[in-house]
Amino acid sequence: MGGALHNLYSSWADKIKKCLATLEAYIDFSEDQHLDNTILDTVKCSVDKLKQEIATHLSDKRKGEKLRSGVFVVLVGRPNVGKSSLLNNLCKREIAIVSSTAGTTRDIIETSLNLGGYLVNISDTAGIRETFDSVEQEGVKRTKERSRKADILLFLVESKQVLKLMDSYCLKETDILAHLLHVELGEDFFNDIKNLQNSSDENQCLTNYCVGMNVILLLNKIDLLSPEEFQRISHLENSNPAICAISCTEGMGMGRFVDHFTRNVQEICCGHRGEEPTITQERHRQYVQKCYEHLMEFESLLECDIAIAAYNLRNATNELGKITGKIRVDDILDI
């Protein structure tokens, strides 16, 4: 392992080794040399600061792993809204069968594409609707399961249907996305969101879900709109950055959507420039997490058993050593 991550973990290991050397010197010589007890406070302060750095590092939303393994994107919507056409358009080839017959896509179709230099794993799913067909029911069930795990949800709706809903329910432009998620994905899907967020406020739950999950609402088939309808949809698109008006068959609006989609993928993978390097492998995350847990143990034991607390510092160093290279006893003695 090399690069920025190696340097970061090595610097952490060095800090822990210095704390460990100081603590062991205190254990061995405190009585003979009349060492000041403020040494323990200095070590505790250094470990506490390091714990905060590691905690921040671990709360990276797995950006590094997504950069390495790809962003998970799911296409979802009712039958015949254009999910398969969108998939084919994005991939620039025929991946999914496109048909006017509802329920053509019954199982999940997966493919990968390069979007602005980032790996995207995209799934076309069965159209969500009530059905008595057992095979299609299973497809709808898998669609909802995949939707819950998506990094980005591409939610397709026919633009004409959106205008009808807005007129029928007197919906505000700011409410349309949350309303569609509730109606289209179903009560069970919504209840899962509500339980996960531990909130009884339905509107707040859906708003938090949309913001936290990177939902993009795609109003498809704008090529079939009248001039008046097109103007309304354009106004709706301009009022909400999460909404894109497109035509998968004619290519209208696809450039704006792809730019928006790419920015979302980039944000998930890399965040803002200038951030600390992120974890790129699950195995490394486990070692860093164990290092953090040993530091937590150290803090809880320092007041009652200094020797065991020092043992936790050694274990924390060893966990980082599994990433950067082995830690030798001489490393401690040389400090």
pTM: 0.64
> Tens of pLDDT along the chain (335 residues)?
557 888 899 999 999 999 999 888 888 776 555 556 688 889 999 999 999 999 998 887 777 777 778 889 999 888 889 988 898 888 887 655 444 444 444 467 888 898 888 889 998 887 766 666 777 677 777 777 777 788 898 999 999 989 988 888 787 777 777 777 777 666 666 565 555 445 555 555 555 555 555 889 999 999 999 999 999 999 999 988 889 999 998 999 999 999 999 998 888 877 644 456 778 788 999 999 999 999 999 988 888 888 899 999 999 999 999 998 765 545 544 44
* Whether residue 306 is found in the same domain as residue 247: no
* Whether residue 31 is found in the same domain as residue 132: no
* Whether residue 175 is found in the same domain as residue 50: no
Rounded to whole angstroms, what are the CA distances from 66 to 23, 133, 335? 39, 36, 38
What spatial distance separates the first Cα and last Cα of the chain, rounded to whole Å?
24
Of 5, 125, 115, nearest to 70 by C-alpha is 115
pLDDT in the model for residue 200: 54
* Whether residue 96 is found in the same domain as residue 206: yes
* Whether residue 14 is found in the same domain as residue 88: no
Last residue of a domain, one of 269, 290, 316: 269
d(CA 185, CA 129): 9
- Note the maximum CA span of the chain: 91
d(CA 41, CA 302): 10
Residue spans of alpha helices (H) in 113-173: 134-149, 159-169
- How is the beta sheet containing 118-124 ordered, strand by strand? 109-115, 118-124, 71-77, 152-158, 215-220, 243-245
pLDDT in the model for residue 298: 93
* Whether residue 261 is found in the same domain as residue 302: no
> How many domains is the chain built from?
2
Which range of residues forms the domain containing residue 187? 70-269
* Whether residue 240 is found in the same domain as residue 125: yes
CATH number at residue 153: 3.40.50.300
